[in-house]
Structure 1
């Protein structure tokens, strides 16, 4: 059983700011991949376009994915994430199953039950997660051995393409296209595959629907209990201009109150509107939470004229993140959309030698990772 108090990252967080990697999707763009590249031989006959299904690259272009992990590690990342942001049966169905709305139907719980039960999608989701974790694990271990500095693998668990909090039908506000149990089942399968691949943490990230995240956290707890395993969990939300999660509209403080019982290794903010607009909400979270604080913002706002598709360059991100560090707000720092290995290298250099946010002592009962995660 791995507990928060036993994990070597805990000591690192007490002594310096740990660096998490940048944006896989943004960096993939720099390799000039085409539709044919993501399809490969295996998916050459797929009926829908697959290029935006970035998770699939771990199966068709594993060397490229490994090279991206290597570059982030050599840039200074202590933590690299699996390329599994959308690696659930539910999210993968967007690329492999006909949309019933195109034929006068709608996506509803009956539709998603077929998705959950589909052998192809179940096998595909498992394979993406397990293979991605193994690629991450290989490169983290390789670079860690070369540098004499341990590197860690976080299993990325994204927010899904459906919402439990809101109805997709403006004329039927009580309607939900998917059920809590269906979402929980999809997440549980992802969690098991990530663990099988060798991740050290589970990272529930880019939370814009708190109920979806709740289903993921319940799934994690149930997998831990049923399989006799325990890993640290990190949780990160995406917020809008008012500091609320984008769909469920929880304030920063309410978000923390909703996940505090999980006793995560770290809680934080990512993606969102860029570092400048994130500052007040990160400050509030840092004040309220009694665990490590993570921060990996977008590189500003989207900009199609930019090489990365976002406004801010490496020097800009380094400046903002160093301001967060000097204010005593963060323990883990990195970048989300628009952040390449060059961005992470600049952030790592800027934060070198800056003290981390001070971590308070937690009681013995709180020290076990995720103890007491409730349904």
Structure 2
């Protein structure tokens, strides 16, 4: 019989707003890395450009990734995310496998079954996830010990580059490029490696397709059942200006209803919108959810003339997320695209002493 005990985050969520980190991709860009830097010696002969494959930096530039984790922790983050947003065999195939559409073919379940069965991609996905989790673990423990404040590692599970909900073929609405089981298998590989690397939590994030997220949650449940160990689950969706998930088009209330069965530690919104546009949808989610509520919006709208590529500076994000707290909407706060360690430091300072959204005696528990 599995015994359960309160999770250490429970006390934090009951007493204050927890801080999650900012944008890994945005912060990587401030280091001026080049194609040669990401390739290193290991990937020097890769046929495709890799610079947009930021997860690979965990293998080729681990010192930089560790420095980013350190900066977010020193900015006040309680939770730091692994650098694994695209660390599945399916997502990594975009950078290492020829696209059949360039030769008159198409991506379909047969193509993706070869991806799932590809040993190089499976091994690469495992290594990225495990190493990134270990890097996070090292810095979370180091800064936690130095400050006397426990920090947590969230294994980041991204949305993939394919959709289970929609067909890419307007003439064949029933067609799907990939199957549910293939997506679940890719996520299973990722989840096992994130746990092996020492993650405290699993964060299914930037959800634009709820069916993809369902596959991730099924994978997580199966990994928990086979290993006898459970971690808290955080869930976070990206919504459009109408408050709907980007591809599956679920409203915020419908999204919560679809995810409630997973008994997440938190559910929330991230990416896609700046904090001003996110407010009403976060407010709706806050009234529906029985879990903690998280928010880590983009730093406003994209702006190529801005140093971060987004409009809002640290003081702007601090003000807007302060409004979230004043409205009693959030338990966990941070930033997505455009948010650097300086943004997170400003947010942490602005939220210090502000009351978290009431949890209604909800208890966050995990298997002992």
Interval of TM-score (by shorter of Structure 1 and Structure 2)? over 0.9
Partner of 2:175: 175
Partner of 1:137: 137
- Report the alpha carbon displacement of residue 369 of structure 1 after superposing the two structures with TM: 4.5
Q: C-alpha separation between the residues in 1 aligned to 2:273 and 2:150?
A: 31
- Report the alpha carbon displacement of residue 342 of structure 1 after superposing the two structures with TM: 0.2
- Report the alpha carbon displacement of residue 227 of structure 1 after superposing the two structures with TM: 1.6
- Report the alpha carbon displacement of residue 7 of structure 1 after superposing the two structures with TM: 1.2
- Report the alpha carbon displacement of residue 361 of structure 1 after superposing the two structures with TM: 2.0
**Secondary structure in 2 matching 1:192:** helix
The answer to whether the 8 A contact 2:266-2:294 is kept is: yes
- For structure 2, list consecutive stretches of 5 or more residues without a partner in the other structure: none
Cα gap change, 1:368 to 1:75, in 2 (>3 Å): closer
Partner of 2:296: 296
**Secondary structure in 2 matching 1:154:** strand
- Report the alpha carbon displacement of residue 246 of structure 1 after superposing the two structures with TM: 0.3
The size of the alignment, in residue pairs, is 366
The answer to whether the 8 A contact 1:2-1:231 is kept is: no
Partner of 1:319: 319
- Report the alpha carbon displacement of residue 257 of structure 1 after superposing the two structures with TM: 0.1
Q: C-alpha separation between the residues in 2 aligned to 1:206 and 1:323?
A: 22
Partner of 1:236: 236
1:246-285 equivalences in 2 (<5 Å): 246-285=246-285
**Secondary structure in 1 matching 2:311:** coil
**Secondary structure in 2 matching 1:257:** helix
The answer to whether the 8 A contact 2:21-2:334 is kept is: yes
Q: C-alpha separation between the residues in 1 aligned to 2:311 and 2:59?
A: 31
The answer to whether the 8 A contact 2:7-2:365 is kept is: no
Question: Is 1:25 equivalent to 2:46 in the alignment?
Answer: no
Q: C-alpha separation between the residues in 2 aligned to 1:66 and 1:87?
A: 17
- For structure 1, list consecutive stretches of 5 or more residues without a partner in the other structure: 371-375
- Report the alpha carbon displacement of residue 2 of structure 1 after superposing the two structures with TM: 8.7
Q: C-alpha separation between the residues in 2 aligned to 1:127 and 1:33?
A: 21
The answer to whether the 8 A contact 1:264-1:369 is kept is: no
The answer to whether the 8 A contact 1:263-1:369 is kept is: no
Q: C-alpha separation between the residues in 2 aligned to 1:211 and 1:136?
A: 29
Q: C-alpha separation between the residues in 1 aligned to 2:150 and 2:223?
A: 27
* C-alpha distance after superposition, 1:2-52 (max 9, x if no partner): 95x521111101000000000000000000000000000000000000000
Instruction: Kindly report structure 1 stretches of 4+ aligned residues shifted beyond 6 Å.
Output: none
Q: C-alpha separation between the residues in 1 aligned to 2:53 and 2:109?
A: 23
1:110-121 equivalences in 2 (<5 Å): 110-121=110-121
Partner of 1:373: none
- Report the alpha carbon displacement of residue 367 of structure 1 after superposing the two structures with TM: 5.3
**Secondary structure in 1 matching 2:361:** coil
Partner of 1:68: 68
Q: C-alpha separation between the residues in 2 aligned to 1:100 and 1:151?
A: 44
Q: C-alpha separation between the residues in 2 aligned to 1:119 and 1:358?
A: 47
1:83-98 equivalences in 2 (<5 Å): 83-98=83-98
Cα gap change, 1:302 to 1:73, in 2 (>3 Å): same
- Report the alpha carbon displacement of residue 229 of structure 1 after superposing the two structures with TM: 1.3
- Report the alpha carbon displacement of residue 162 of structure 1 after superposing the two structures with TM: 0.2
- Report the alpha carbon displacement of residue 272 of structure 1 after superposing the two structures with TM: 1.9
Partner of 2:163: 163
Q: C-alpha separation between the residues in 2 aligned to 1:276 and 1:368?
A: 33
The answer to whether the 8 A contact 1:2-1:232 is kept is: no
Cα gap change, 1:176 to 1:2, in 2 (>3 Å): farther
Partner of 1:184: 184
1:207-246 equivalences in 2 (<5 Å): 207-246=207-246
Q: C-alpha separation between the residues in 2 aligned to 1:337 and 1:215?
A: 25
- Report the alpha carbon displacement of residue 368 of structure 1 after superposing the two structures with TM: 4.1
Q: C-alpha separation between the residues in 2 aligned to 1:212 and 1:317?
A: 30
Q: C-alpha separation between the residues in 2 aligned to 1:205 and 1:266?
A: 11
The answer to whether the 8 A contact 1:291-1:360 is kept is: no
The answer to whether the 8 A contact 2:79-2:153 is kept is: yes
Query: What's the C-alpha RMSD, in Å, of the aligned pairs?
Result: 1.1
